[in-house]
Structure 1
Amino acid sequence: MELNDKAAVNGEGVLDVSNANLDTFTADSVSSEKKRNTQQLYLNNNRLCVLPSSVSSFSNLELLDISNNGLSVIGEHITRLVKLKTLVAKNNRLNEFSLPKDFGSLQLEVLNLSGNCFKEIPLQCTKLRRLQSLSLGGNRLKSIPVEIENLSRLEVLYLGGNLISAIPAEVANLPWLTYLALSDNCIQSVPPQLTRLHSLRSLSLHNNQLSYLPREILSLVRLQELSLRGNPLVVRFVKELMYDPPSLLELAGRTVKSGNVPYSRQDLPDHLFKYLDLASKCPNPKCAGVYFDSCVRHIKFVDFCGKYRLPLMHYLCSPECTTSPCTSNPQSDAESDDDNSVPADRLQRVLLG
């Protein structure tokens, strides 16, 4: 291959051979000096089916982009790139058998394998002790290995668009994790151990199968964004808002009972007297209200985040009770009896729709 002007090494040590319609690549026409000076090599958007062994001759390479090719395997020669920090290999045909045995010996800080055919996260990836960002979105992953906890420097974990059904508790052993994306999976629950992710700022869980959140989610003190849209719990919350308001009969009965308006059997028709005897106290211990037929479950927003807040279920006798905690939904196990227990400036966004 003759390198054209576009593929020449510039003053910043970048060799760009992207979008060149290549089905093979050789570095024979690159001088030894240029190879030594090249720190970034772009081979993306070509037709490569095999990563050329000549790539290993770029001894000072720090970034390699081989995205949008037809690669099904990455050979052992990549392990010779001892200074490689960033590998972008998204949108290829790679799977859990495509990486070399010693892949974990690389000093990678950023690894992007999104848009491939992985059914499992290769254990070689969990040996990349310097890794700060791991992206495996848009694959066929069914689980997260417990060995993920070995990536002690990880800050970004993107696993959206897979078939993951559970979050292992070992994810909570990533002390620097800041961004966790698990959207568009099959996750049914969030382990309470995630409360140990003290650095977490963004948690994306939209389009899963979550029906409740653990109480411990409120202990993520640095969390600024929580995405929940497209989960059964949000659908249920929205439906709970759409309830029939109390009838005029019930509103009148509430007024009589809550205001201790005196009455006797002689003052009222028999059916109204019996109706008033059916009054029940609101289950909220801080509410003196009553209800007859329209005790509804409602949403209590326990955390401020601008337009949206974190929704949790409560039983209410009327919408006026929304400022006081009521008997909680046992399934959610997430309510607090103290409205002041959650700082008002915590979450900035909770995406519900």
Structure 2
Amino acid sequence: MEYYTSDSCDSDSRDQKTLDLSNHMLETNELSTDLRAVVDEKDCAENYEIILLFNNRIQTLPETINRFTNLKILDVSNNRLTVLPDLLKFCPLTSLIAKHNQLTNESLPKSFTFSRNTIRELNLSGNQLNFFPEQVLEIKSLRYLYLGGNHIAKIPKDIWKLSSLQILSLGGNQITEIPESVGRLTTLQALVLSDNLIEQLPSSVANLNQLRSLLLHKNRLKTLPTAIIKLRCLTELSLRDNPLVVRFVRDMTLQPPSLLELAGRTIKLHEISIQPGDIPHTLMKYLGAAQCCVNPKCKGVFFDNRVEHIKFVDFCGKYRIPLLQYLCSSKCIIGSWESREENNNPHPQMMRKVLLG
């Protein structure tokens, strides 16, 4: 979106639709005076569709704001707002950005269904909300909802009512669980749940067939639902700083193999011929359970003893995932074969190994 600044209403500036009063260190009274001048003296308030007020010292919005009858975008970010008045209902807003203020649930409007009910973006990130504002669920036209950096502990089960939602950002809160109803937001393209207290995801997440970005870092996830591999449009996944990843890194078995395993490995490595009846049936069955080392340069096998090696692999150049591999020896961990193996692995199959493993 391209912003323009309009200082007058003459014929040369009729296409300039933005009133930019950002970064002026304005107090509430000073803002009121400036807006009144536009309305009364210039008499061109209806020409403005965008008002930028970010990075000021505003504590509340003056009533004059409702004189801008064609106002579509209002940005009051990084101020000192303690209340968001109902007077905005007179404006045909499509985007309200009020991030990084001092707003609480009690200081929000009782309803966000403005006069023409066309709001598509609502940003209340970085405020002091203690719970999910239920009145937001009334905005049927909402596409982008940002509520990160608050103190929200629960996502309402009725979240499915926001059927047009494309971005849902709830990072940096105190959320412990995700309701199954999130899976009904089938138009969702980005879901941000990072930096919360989430221990598991509902399997219904797999129904978000248009999801492109899923941010889950800094949570308490120990597992992921296996159905998540159905997210064919997913190009960004963040899992760092979860027990899921930490467990992968720490779970490496380096115990010495038993004499039985060493004997079995020797037989397989040197291709010693064993005929039925030469050894007990149980040992024949044991030899048949040999698994090959994933290192293509190694001809070794393993039985019960293995080295669990974790590689963090770039997936589509977007994110890194922990890939669990089984090796016959710790000597097989390091080698140039790893990079070639990454290139040869089809991406969907790589995802399946990680998420199901």
- Into which bin does the TM-score normalised by the smaller protein fall? 0.7 to 0.9
Which runs of structure 2 are paired with 1:10-159 in the superposition (5 Å)? 11-24=15-28, 25-26=31-32, 27-31=35-39, 33-81=43-91, 83-105=92-114, 106-159=117-170
Q: Which segments of 5 or more consecutive residues in structure 2 lack a partner in the other structure?
A: 275-282, 294-299, 334-344
Q: Check whether the contact 1:38–1:60 (CA below 8 A) recurs between aligned residues.
A: yes
Partners of 1:71 and 1:88 lie apart in 2 by 12
Give the fraction of aligned pairs with identical amino acids, expressed as a percent.
41
User: Greater helix share, 1 or 2?
Assistant: 2
Q: Which segments of 5 or more consecutive residues in structure 1 lack a partner in the other structure?
A: 1-5, 264-276, 323-339
Shift in Å, 1:256: 2.5
Q: Check whether the contact 2:290–2:303 (CA below 8 A) recurs between aligned residues.
A: no
Secondary structure of 1:134's match?
A: strand
Shift in Å, 1:114: 0.6
Q: Check whether the contact 1:237–1:313 (CA below 8 A) recurs between aligned residues.
A: yes
Q: Check whether the contact 2:308–2:324 (CA below 8 A) recurs between aligned residues.
A: yes
Q: What TM-score comes out, normalization by structure 2 length? A: 0.75
Against the structure 1 CA distance between its residues 228 and 63, is the aligned structure 2 distance closer, same or farther, given a 3 Å change threshold? Answer: same
Against the structure 1 CA distance between its residues 108 and 190, is the aligned structure 2 distance closer, same or farther, given a 3 Å change threshold? Answer: same
Partners of 2:331 and 2:98 lie apart in 1 by 55
Q: Which has the higher contact order (CA 8 A, sep 6+)?
A: 1
Against the structure 1 CA distance between its residues 63 and 308, is the aligned structure 2 distance closer, same or farther, given a 3 Å change threshold? Answer: closer
Against the structure 1 CA distance between its residues 215 and 125, is the aligned structure 2 distance closer, same or farther, given a 3 Å change threshold? Answer: same
Secondary structure of 1:79's match?
A: helix
Deviations 1:140-197 (A, max 9, x none): 1111111211111110111111111111111111111001111111110011011110
Match of 2:278 in 1: none
Shift in Å, 1:231: 0.4
Shift in Å, 1:95: 1.5
Tell me how many residue pairs correspond in the alignment. Answer: 312
Against the structure 1 CA distance between its residues 211 and 47, is the aligned structure 2 distance closer, same or farther, given a 3 Å change threshold? Answer: same
Which runs of structure 2 are paired with 1:105-254 in the superposition (5 Å)? 105=114, 106-240=117-251, 242-244=252-254, 246=256, 252-254=262-264
Deviations 1:62-96 (A, max 9, x none): 10011111111111111111x21011100101111
Against the structure 1 CA distance between its residues 78 and 253, is the aligned structure 2 distance closer, same or farther, given a 3 Å change threshold? Answer: same
Partners of 1:152 and 1:236 lie apart in 2 by 37
Secondary structure of 1:97's match?
A: helix
Q: What TM-score comes out, normalization by structure 1 length? A: 0.76
